[in-house]
Amino acid sequence: MNLLDTLKGSLLENFFPKGWDLKKIEKCCSHPPEKVLERQKWWHKKFFPVPCDTLEEFNVKVGHRIAYEICSAKEEGKILILILPVGPMGMYKWAVYFLQEWGVDCKHVWGFNMDEWSDKDGNTLPSKSPGAFQKAMEDAFYGPLGELTVPEKQRFFATKRLLPLYPEKIAELRGKGARLVLVFGIGRVFHIAFWEPHFAEEFSSIEDWKKQEYRLGAKLHPLTIEQNAITSFKSRTTLVPCYANTIGPGIFLKADRIIGGADGTLGRGMMWQGMSLWVTLRYGPDMWVPSSFIPTLPGYLYFLKELAGPLVPECN
């Protein structure tokens, strides 16, 4: 007996986004770990999942890839647009390390944070507040880069004022030949940034869904709130905002390259991101599962091998 057998009449009956195919999700998660790299017909020919044995290996490889994109754009004389997450975070110290070792500055880089906590009207925390994504980025990446850093005028954060400017500014930079690189993590409910699966209910077609560039005061799914309570708020669910400002598929699906990360293990055999990884790789493009589009883009998805499972019950 499992959730699929007992869902009717339970408190979870109306909990999951109604466009989810739970049997399909279960099938995605039932594969043995050795099948995780098995290519699917909808994957981009230059999309590559990359397994990592340890968290440190993961952080080094993702950080190196970010630094490599900055360096290669510099060598080619290109502007680089980086869409940046706050989570995962451990890669930023390594991106800083490699750039400083190579002596590569970021004067050609434009950084756009993909999301930020907000209230229902899109008002965000003060930039220096604990938990604010802007503070996290300043502390982890922009600050430690020192004299090599991205100029302040080229740093965009997902505030009520700045987020609506993203589409126009990115389009302007793309018109100058800029390369767009998406750096991202995958959410518990398969979101990219805070673009949640239940938003799909608002759109009559996938074409309309794909046009959405951003949202102010996006209403978050309860599983997203609980994920962040575990990963960022020391388990204090009551401190987690219920809303966020976020980019949408109209921005993240236009990336020239992607650098993704899944590092959601908790130790002692526990994890929160195994299902997210498998569904991302195996579900197939569907607007009710935003991360399912990731394999259709060129680039890399780094993940901890432990997340590949096997995803079977285990008491810890």
With contact defined as beta carbons under 8 Å apart, do 295 and 280 qualify? Answer: yes
Considering the domain boundaries, does residue 4 fall inside one? no
Considering the domain boundaries, does residue 6 fall inside one? no
Query: What angle (nearest 5°) sits at the alpha carbon of residue 83, between those of residues 229 and 253?
Result: 100
pLDDT of residue 139: 97
Considering the domain boundaries, does residue 203 fall inside one? yes
Across-strand partners of 181?
Answer: 82, 257
What percentage of the chain has pLDDT greater than the value 70? 100
Write the CATH number for 201. 3.40.50.1360
Across-strand partners of 155?
Answer: 111
Query: What angle (nearest 5°) sits at the alpha carbon of residue 134, between those of residues 129 and 140?
Result: 100
What's the number of domains the chain is made of? 1
The stretches of 7-163 forming alpha helices (DSSP H) are: 22-29, 55-76, 91-102, 133-137
Low-confidence ranges of the chain (pLDDT < 70): 1
Calpha distance 223→43 (Å, rounded): 27
Packing angle of the helix pair 22-29, 274-282 (nearest 10 deg): 100
Considering the domain boundaries, does residue 226 fall inside one? yes
Considering the domain boundaries, does residue 25 fall inside one? no
Please enumerate in sequence order all residues whose Cβ is within 8 A of that of 8, keeping only pairs 6 or more positions apart, or say none. none
pLDDT in tens, 210-251: 999 999 999 999 999 999 999 999 999 999 999 999 999 999
pLDDT of residue 285: 98
Between the CA of residue 180 and those of 82, 96, 157, 172, 176, what are the distances in Å? 6, 20, 16, 12, 12
Q: Which residue range(s) make up the domain with 84?
A: 41-306
Q: Is 90 exposed, middle or buried (0-12, 13-18, 19+ CB in 10 A)?
A: middle
pLDDT in tens, 86-119: 999 999 999 999 999 999 999 999 999 999 999 9
Calpha distance 260→85 (Å, rounded): 10
Considering the domain boundaries, does residue 36 fall inside one? no
Considering the domain boundaries, does residue 14 fall inside one? no
3-state secondary structure of 43: coil
pLDDT of residue 1: 65
pTM for the full predicted model:
0.97
Considering the domain boundaries, does residue 11 fall inside one? no
